Structure 1
């Protein structure tokens, strides 16, 4: 895949033209009044055209940016590199973030993923119309932006859908929802939360119940008691800094390990050994098991919780029998499970090539989620459409420029030439890209993750 080849005017219907520093937008008809399988309508005639805006720093010399707010309320940002080779990357961001959408969110994403326009790809990302754990709506917002780009900006040769972290589940859901129309030529899923909404978060409930059995302060004994599987009551006023203070009092996470009391050190060790997450991510996962669970229960599943730990057997503590006898137990509500499943579980019916990368030591999205996604794709008869790669990194949000350059080159060759990549060929591509992009390549072509159940105990399910 030549990274900086120019596209001819004949192949660029409705392209962005730069003349005298002014941005001229040409219109491309099509995709008007289309309706998704989920009921969402896309009326491109009703969408305002994007307007020129300043690009964030570091996106590449000569890159021009466009921004806007779509008809559903989502903010979006588009980056057009000066030497556009004609391909578009539509980006689905991670999180999810709670609260109202902001334009700042997509600007931060472009800064992080500036490698895409620097490689010559047009890039477009939506803030989504709402905050919170709403996968299908976010997938629809992402698809609306793809159609808006074509209608208002340019007709790309190929469109690649990129999902990062929770956004990988958004991208996978979108690729399934719109599979029959094949709006995307290929899908890249990085550091993905791909176990499905009804399984990916089981360990966070496990963290809540084990933490509470050790610390007894979330909630405090003096506070109203509530089932931990709802995250927080709808009317709770607890703030993140207040929870962090409680966690520090119990676990001493704000101190170097050598300065913790023996009791604090023992509790941290129990959580790390039983929940199988690194110490550095305990606080963030507790936050998500608090406010994200609250969002799911209060905003998505009608007040009932889709999370349960009945039947789960915890192991790794100094006294597993006492631990299992002492933790709170909950059964997931069947209707809530069905609602979350409809929104956030995956079918694996993706009809275009899918390439993934995941850090083996990812502290946020455990690598075993990839094993579950592989099973999902295979069960849908789409196993041959999936290539999964792994790196020895310990990060989640971003690995390295040559890592993503190699993945995009491999995915492009698969789409345009039918050359299915292998983990070894992607690793070799990374080393090639590193010669010009610098940074690191840590692919481990022979790595295979274990089953998700080896890290997160199975439980009774409705």
Structure 2
């Protein structure tokens, strides 16, 4: 196995930071806009790009009239080997609105791609140092991020709260790394055990990306074949339920009726294939390399109990009935199947770098769409579990958007969340976190895009793990 990655030490002295910043600013350039929205932004702002000593690039956009707030944006996961540009906003339209309202925007690329938390956190803080040395100390600093960037943002909030005033996670992996990889293991374990028990498809310990791709393709072929039979469709739905994959998970899908089990399963089938292609093998392999081994396990897991807590258990029950298949027998098969154990050193690395205590000292607002298949909305239940155990509940608020897909927020919805967090920072108390108030803020921020906040309570996250509950380990 590849040795674990050792986190870089962030320079703490002011002299060290200034030296690094001086070197970084040698690469400041102005870039051309990439869209109409970006053209509007660059017309009214100063745009700066540069490179940090780590090799990461950074990006900054200053409005013509700065309101004193800097937004430190952490971008999502970039596949190993893919382009890795710096980003300081989630999308061009939101960026244009933020600059129009006077926010300074900053963000880095992170020095590496993949599960790069040990690069991302210091690179983001170093970018903030560059900004401070160039423009002065901000009146207010807010860390925010989307998807994997929500994990980076939460890591900054927990481990470096003195650097920020508050944090905003959108569609974030706020459940942490161990929980993520455990819950990603369960659906593929079910698919292999029930659809291809003699296939020899490896689920962990993948030596390289080629092996990961081969395993993903092999299991995808089994899923495609199973989709042609009622029994196969029921088993795919069971696997989906173990990841809490919602029955409406892409904006392009028709939202199925509450009792249209076939349409619900068809939508999940697409999401299951996406999970196999995106996270279950290739991203897992890259994360295993960083961790120095397999950081996930299903030893001791009762799959009947997991299904009993799943948000879509009723659909699974009905599809098994329709197929004339015994759900009890399949759950027993899963519970008898040989289990996968984790490498303790890899668990330790992932726990130390990518799991959370739940201890907040600054306000955090976490926002999620309810139809997210890649990072299910139940991650918010895992976050609340940790925060509650740590006694930090007064500092956390969560809000939910009625839309399908991963990170499919409108610019209006994102600005509403930001303004709600700012209000908390200004007044010292939360108010206006209810859907009606959030939608009103969204309409005021940008009436041209949707405002879809709703009252919602996610079901439990099926494989929670956090540092507030150390007994949940192996």
TM-score range, shorter chain: 0.7 to 0.9
Name the counterpart of 1:229.
Answer: 204
1:367 aligns with 2:377: yes
* Residues 1:283 and 1:440: Cα distance change in structure 2 (over 3 Å): same
In structure 2, which of residues 434, 449, 473 is the aligned counterpart of residue 461 of structure 1? 473
After superposition, the C-alpha distances for 1:268-313 in whole angstroms (9 at most, x for unaligned) are 3332344432413212322312122211222x222x3121001112
Q: State how far apart, in whole Å, the 2-side matches of 1:321 and 1:215 are.
A: 13
Q: State how far apart, in whole Å, the 2-side matches of 1:109 and 1:198 are.
A: 26
Write out aligned runs for 1:177-326 (5 A): 177-179=159-161, 182-216=162-196, 220-221=199-200, 226=202, 228-230=203-205, 232-234=206-208, 237-238=210-211, 240=213, 246-247=218-219, 249-252=221-224, 260-262=228-230, 264-278=232-246, 279=268, 280-286=270-276, 287-298=278-289, 300-302=290-292, 304-315=293-304, 318=327, 319-325=329-335
Q: State how far apart, in whole Å, the 2-side matches of 1:379 and 1:239 are.
A: 37
Q: Which structure carries more helix by proportion? A: 2
1:111 aligns with 2:54: no
Contact map agreement 2:24 2:50 (CA 8 A) in 1: no
Give structure 2 stretches of 5+ with no counterpart: 1-12, 247-267, 308-319, 321-326
- Equivalenced residue count is 407
Name the counterpart of 1:418.
Answer: 428
Q: State how far apart, in whole Å, the 2-side matches of 1:160 and 1:149 are.
A: 13
Give 1:448 deviation, angstroms.
Answer: 2.5
1:434 is paired with a residue whose SS is helix
Kindly report the root-mean-square deviation, in angstroms, between the aligned alpha carbons of the 2 structures.
3.1
- The two structures have a TM-score, normalised by structure 1, of 0.78
Give 1:364 deviation, angstroms.
Answer: 1.6
Give 1:193 deviation, angstroms.
Answer: 0.8
Contact map agreement 2:416 2:442 (CA 8 A) in 1: yes
Q: State how far apart, in whole Å, the 2-side matches of 1:189 and 1:262 are.
A: 39
Contact map agreement 1:391 1:444 (CA 8 A) in 2: yes
Between 1:289-298 and 1:313-322, the stretch displaced more is 313-322
After superposition, the C-alpha distances for 1:384-443 in whole angstroms (9 at most, x for unaligned) are 11111122222222311221111111111211232423421x642422432543222221
* Residues 1:265 and 1:185: Cα distance change in structure 2 (over 3 Å): same
Give 1:69 deviation, angstroms.
Answer: 1.8
In structure 2, which of residues 116, 129, 134 is the aligned counterpart of residue 152 of structure 1? 134
Name the counterpart of 2:20.
Answer: 43
Q: State how far apart, in whole Å, the 2-side matches of 1:153 and 1:383 are.
A: 35
Give 1:248 deviation, angstroms.
Answer: 5.0
Contact map agreement 1:175 1:350 (CA 8 A) in 2: yes
Give 1:47 deviation, angstroms.
Answer: 2.5
Between 1:349-358 and 1:274-283, the stretch displaced more is 274-283
Between 1:265-274 and 1:49-58, the stretch displaced more is 265-274
Q: State how far apart, in whole Å, the 2-side matches of 1:156 and 1:460 are.
A: 40
Contact map agreement 1:136 1:174 (CA 8 A) in 2: no
Name the counterpart of 2:15.
Answer: 32
Give 1:261 deviation, angstroms.
Answer: 4.4
Q: State how far apart, in whole Å, the 1-side matches of 2:346 and 2:89 are.
A: 33
Between 1:435-444 and 1:401-410, the stretch displaced more is 435-444
Name the counterpart of 1:14.
Answer: none
1:165 aligns with 2:147: yes
1:377 aligns with 2:387: yes
Q: State how far apart, in whole Å, the 1-side matches of 2:123 and 2:187 are.
A: 32
Contact map agreement 1:310 1:460 (CA 8 A) in 2: no
* Residues 1:321 and 1:174: Cα distance change in structure 2 (over 3 Å): closer
